[in-house]
Amino acid sequence: MTPRFAQFLAVDWSGAKGPRQKGIAVAVANVEGGPPALLAPPDPRGWARAEVLALLAGLKVPTLIGLDLGISLPHADADAFFPGWDASPADARALWALIDALCADDPHLEAGGFLAHPEAARYFRHGAGATGDRFLLPGAATREGRFRIAEHAQRQQGVRPVSNFNLVGAAQVGKSSLTGMRMLHRLGPRLPVWPVDPLPQEGSVVTEIYTSMAARLGGVTGTATKVRSYAALGDALGALGSPPVAGTGAIDDHSSDALLTAAWLRRVHTIGELWHPKALTPQIACTEGWTFGAL
């Protein structure tokens, strides 16, 4: 039987300002086996977000793409992304369009324009002493912020996602998620994004990934899930049935995250229940999306 995908592409994303990002890493694993490999950016200073967009739009073989970012914001808890704001979009694709429109003057797919908008800003934690008055829902049981259904599922599997409305701290993914949503909007219909879009019978598809989940399945234990040496990376890849990557000494965690997750996608993509998690309803699919691997 011909494999559904020819390769598996993992993108460790970044929401930082600037034209090029040292925090972006792209790795590919071939369906036929072998170690995953990093793709070199077009410029030694790092990837530009627009270059990653062009790479995804130009893929020539069926590819399962994993983006390490949140493809949407919480919706199910309040039946709205932004409860109390009359411009709150109806679904994920409308959310991406709104973010991109409010960031029209931001270069490099940055998201500053959205976060500076007087209404949108009210829903985010921006920094010490700068938390929007709508960051928490009335009567919230925790100060951590709002979470999607997929993120609750992740927590039940032993990892600790941070709210996409939180822009503070080393673990925050809010900025990378917002810049990623701009990219998804600009990809438009060229690439389906599961589960916002149905899983196509052929061709490439984008999924959301959480690299900590790949690390757990790669045998990385403890509170930290970052891999920072070639030796530890080799052990984790081995647990996923992958040959090691050549190298010794230290490796940056952006590269190791992408390499490990590309191998993980190759290993688990045929597990049917990962495409049919119990809590994933049609309404959640079109609004909040899902994280591949969460059950």
pLDDT digits (tens, 9 = 90+) for 30-60: 999 999 999 999 999 999 999 999 999 999 9
pLDDT digits (tens, 9 = 90+) for 61-76: 999 999 999 999 999 9
The pLDDT of 166-178, averaged and rounded, is 92
pLDDT for residue 221: 64
* Portion of the chain with pLDDT greater than 90, in percent: 88
pLDDT for residue 94: 98
pLDDT digits (tens, 9 = 90+) for 91-148: 999 999 999 999 999 999 999 999 999 999 999 999 878 999 999 999 998 999 999 9
* Portion of the chain with pLDDT greater than 70, in percent: 97
pLDDT for residue 171: 84
Q: Is the pLDDT of residue 259 over 80?
A: yes
Q: Is the pLDDT of residue 224 over 90?
A: no
The pLDDT of 178-182, averaged and rounded, is 98
Give me the residue spans of the domains in the chain: 7-71+184-275, 92-183
pLDDT for residue 274: 94
Q: Is the pLDDT of residue 220 over 80?
A: no
Is domain 7-71+184-275 in CATH 3.40.50, yes or no? no
Q: Is the pLDDT of residue 223 over 70?
A: no
CA distance 196 to 217: 25
